[in-house]
Amino acid sequence: MKKELLMASALVSTLGVASVAQAVTATMAGSMKIGAEFESADDVGTDSNQVHDQSNFNISLSETTDGGTTISTSFEIVDEGTVSADDDNAIKLTFTDGSALELLNAGNAAGTHAAGVPGAGGEQGVGGTTTNNAPGDLDFAAGSTALGVEWHSAADFLTDGLKVSASYSTDNGTAKAAAARLENSWGVGATYVTTAGDSTVTVSGGVADGEIATSGTQATSDKGGFNVGVVAVTGDLTIGVGYGDGDTFVSSSTNATNQEIDGSVMKAGIKYVTGDITLALGVTAGEGKDGAFGTADTTDDSVDSTSASVTYAVASGVSAVVGYTTVDAQNDGASTTDDGSSWYIGASMSF
């Protein structure tokens, strides 16, 4: 309770620098995507096809105090068959020196600085019910609770081209139960931008750690790890590669089925823009060893995927896309229902 009161006091005192409450400045953005996907299963599962009808609407709120501090936040409404709201939005304070502080739902700094490796467009993918726990994202080991803060330095921190962040989150208030949960976490991350000839090179990465809590058997390792990546842009060509390694977990309502995962993932991609056409290719290779809490992680999971897409800018804010993905997945050494290939053809309109 003491930690929660200290956090609330810091929030109230910081926001108190504003003078009289007035209507803040609001900006809007959104998109509508619609297309058809055709999935072909390999050894397990069945072929299927479906129409994706997805829309989102984002509102950003911002205002600047008399002292020059900008207070901002945003929220998003997403419709992917059912309407839902994205509530994971921090209150961000941007100071006159360019540094910033995010309060509540702030995230993890290691995830903030995960490399933006190019990937294919489209909504294609191979779905299915499986217990495959091989990771697919570079920041899979970076976790946070809602009660957290993240600090961002101004640009050119200590040296030209460097920007750093640090984060901390604490107990989310849920009583200890059989289901595993993240109790607290910390993370640090950095991004360095430089030039090499005609190319702009971005090197980024981060380190994170966190404690897992349950009322029963504890995991042999907590959630945490690192990620690193490099992205180079030369004219209309973008090439990137990233790697992540660490430990994570899957929570269940019963202690007996909480899973701990020791995993790694590599992502690489290339994107080329020629006129109104964007060509993209991305590959992901994830591996994981999973097992029940307190036992050795010995069962091997893996997901290897290759995706490609062609996107055509039809008009301002309107794009047509054709995408393809092929997935080779193994769960405990056997093929799974998320093993196969998928085509997607669709369009998007954004504002």
Report if residue 95 sits inside a domain.
Answer: no
Q: Identify whether the C-beta of residue 87 lies closer than 8 Å to the C-beta of residue 75.
A: yes
Distance of CA 198 to the CA centre of its chain: 30
Phi and psi torsions of 227, nearest 5°: -145, 150
Contact 157, 191 (CB under 8 A): no
Cα(45)–Cα(48) distance, rounded to whole angstroms?
9
* Most confident option among 12-16, 47-51, 175-179, 323-327: 323-327
CB 35 within 8 A of CB 344: yes
C-alpha to C-alpha distance for 118 and 154, rounded to whole angstroms: 26
At position 296, the amino acid (one-letter code) is: A
For residue 201, the domain's CATH number is 2.40.160.10
pLDDT band at 344 (very low <50, low <70, confident <90, very high): very high
Burial of 182 (0-12, 13-18, 19+ CB in 10 A): buried
Is residue 50 very low, low, confident or very high in pLDDT (cuts 50, 70, 90)? confident
Cα torsion 253, 254, 255, 258: sign = negative
pLDDT tier at 312, thresholds 50, 70, 90: very high
Residue 198 per-residue DSSP state: T
Residue 74, in any domain of the structure: no
Residue 141's nearest CA partner among 54, 249, 38, 232 is 249
The pLDDT score that the predictor gives to residue 45 is 63
Report the percent of the chain where pLDDT is more than 70: 85
Asked whether the predicted pLDDT for residue 22 surpasses 80, the reply is: no
Distance CA 182, CA 247 (A): 12
Q: How many CA atoms does the CB half-sphere of 337 hold within 13 Å?
A: 9
Domains of the chain: total = 1
Domain that holds residue 277: 32-58+108-350
SS3 173: coil
Among the listed residues 46, 71, 49, 51, the one whose alpha carbon sits nearest the alpha carbon of residue 61: 71
Query: Which two structure tokens, joined as six digits, stand for 194?
Result: 């430089």
Q: What is the pLDDT of residue 139?
A: 94
Q: Which of 287, 268, 197, 263 is nearest to 230 (CA)?
A: 268
**pLDDT (average), residues 82-86:** 46
Number of other CB atoms surrounding residue 275 within 10 Å: 8
- List C-alpha distances in Å: 196 to 147, 193, 242: 41, 10, 19
Looking at 257-350, list the stretches that DSSP marks H as alpha helix, in order from N- to C-terminal side.
none
The predicted-structure confidence for 245-296, as pLDDT tens digits, reads as follows 999 998 887 777 888 899 999 999 999 999 999 999 999 999 999 888 877 7
Does any domain span residue 67?
Answer: no
Classify residue 275 by its DSSP letter.
Answer: T
Higher pLDDT, 246 or 47: 246
In a domain, 5, yes or no: no
Indicate the range of 82-86, 157-161, 217-221 predicted with least confidence: 82-86
Tell whether 16 is covered by a domain: no
220 domain-assigned:
yes
CB atoms within 10 A of CB 51: 9
- Strand (E) or helix (H) holding 9: helix 2-15
Looking at residue 267, its amino acid is K
What does DSSP assign to residue 44?
S
pLDDT level of residue 5 (50, 70, 90 thresholds): very low
335 in a domain, yes or no? yes
Q: Is residue 15, in this structure, part of any structural domain at all?
A: no
